[in-house]
Amino acid sequence: MPTEIVSAVLYENGKAAGEYGSADEIDAEVYTEASTETAVIEKTGNTPYEKYGKLTVLGRNLVGADGNPITLQGVSTHGIAWFPQYIDKEGFRTLRDNMNTDVIRLAVYSGVNEGYSKDLYEKVDEGVSYALELGMYAIIDWHVLENGNPNTDKENAKEFFTYMAQKYCDSENVLYEICNEPNGNVQWERDIKPYAEEIIKIIRQYDDDGIIIVGTPTWSQDVDIAAQSPIENQKNIMYAFHFYAATHGEALRNKLSSAVEAGLPVFVTEFGISEASGSGSINKEEADRWISFLRENNISCVCWNLSNKNELCALINPECNKTSDWDYSELTDSGKWLFDTYNNAE
């Protein structure tokens, strides 16, 4: 019996629509078929999953089970090979309850020189099960970065997504992000789209409707290019867009804006308020402009990164080794900005 159960209020558009249920009614709902063998789903009445349920893509919007557009707020782990300690259920709970976080992105760097190994599958499983238990969404991120072209490590990607889709086909809180940031000599039509079509086919063998997010050229900035030639004949596909507010402003926002106008479903699976290097400086004013734009357009976003690494984009102070229950003073400037911003969402 989970200890966190406090109510069984029904939610509609984020607003309480029902009365508190009895303990017996709650009990009956604790175990679901979608859970991994041991997962116990906590019902508090207002977990993100209880609010939104199964997600789908309608037009360019991410919509909840009731068909209304939703805007998720999220936090990304750093590479889980390097910072495995942040796969911590209590840490995720802290993000959910104190930082108004709906979704955790689990970043698996996919390059062999970036710590990739199949041993990380277990860590992903652990992260997904915590998210599931806490009623949060999880994005499984195949973090293409140093390897540039997603085709470089395609065989590993195929193996990875075969395992993940087989395992999570019934878990409605799981989203798949199939190539973080294609970069270098990589083109949408020639490289990324064929890669995506191949991986989507693999995922769809098992999971016929989970949301799949596809990276776009130039470190997931060229959503305008993807919008000219989106993936056809597939439902529940979204496109990744990334920005770092101390590097990117109006010019990049115009690209996003043109993709939005073209009707492309975009998910900001990574952003920071530092420079794109992850450090340098931070720009809160520009970050606020980005967030306003995202909220006006119902675009979900995930902030990089949950770690205490000594860099400006990390959310936890370098001298703080806690992996949950952070005080405000233990957050970096990025972390404090995120805390304030996420808690000021409607």
If the CB atoms of residues 14 and 115 are measured against ligand IDC, the closer one turns out to be: 115
Residue with the shortest CB distance to ligand IDC: 278
**Least distance from C-beta 229 to ligand IDC, angstroms?**
23
HSE-CB of 119 using CA atoms within 13 angstroms: 8
Burial code of 140-167, b = ≥16 C-beta within 10 A, e = fewer? bbbbbbebbbbbbbbebbeebbeebbeb
**Least distance from C-beta 139 to ligand IDC, angstroms?**
13
**Least distance from C-beta 97 to ligand IDC, angstroms?**
25
If the CB atoms of residues 299 and 306 are measured against ligand IDC, the closer one turns out to be: 306
Active site residue 181: yes
- State how far the Cα of 58 lies from the Cα of 64, in Å rounded to an integer: 10
Task: Determine which helix (DSSP H) or strand (DSSP E) holds 61, and give its type and residue range.
Answer: strand 61-63
If the CB atoms of residues 69 and 280 are measured against ligand IDC, the closer one turns out to be: 280
If the CB atoms of residues 171 and 221 are measured against ligand IDC, the closer one turns out to be: 221
Residues that bind ligand IDC (CB under 6 A): 145, 180-181, 219, 242, 244, 270, 276-278, 304-305, 309, 311, 313
Active site residue 346: no
Whether the CB-CB separation of 92 and 131 falls below 8 Å is answered with yes
Please say whether the dihedral angle defined by the alpha carbons of residues 130, 136, 137 and 138, taken in this order, is positive or negative. Answer: negative
- State how far the Cα of 227 lies from the Cα of 203, in Å rounded to an integer: 22
Pick the catalytic residue from 50, 181, 275, 311.
181
Cβ-based neighbour number of residue 305 at 10 Å: 24
**Least distance from C-beta 242 to ligand IDC, angstroms?**
6
- Which is nearest to 169 in space by CA: 216, 204, 212? 204
Question: Cβ neighbours of residue 327 under 8 Å, at least 6 residues apart?
Answer: none
Pick the catalytic residue from 177, 270, 286, 311.
270
Whether the CB-CB separation of 161 and 203 falls below 8 Å is answered with yes
**Least distance from C-beta 250 to ligand IDC, angstroms?**
18
If the CB atoms of residues 5 and 276 are measured against ligand IDC, the closer one turns out to be: 276
**Least distance from C-beta 278 to ligand IDC, angstroms?**
3
If the CB atoms of residues 260 and 303 are measured against ligand IDC, the closer one turns out to be: 303
- State how far the Cα of 202 lies from the Cα of 196, in Å rounded to an integer: 10
- State how far the Cα of 184 lies from the Cα of 238, in Å rounded to an integer: 22
The residues annotated as belonging to the active site are 181, 270
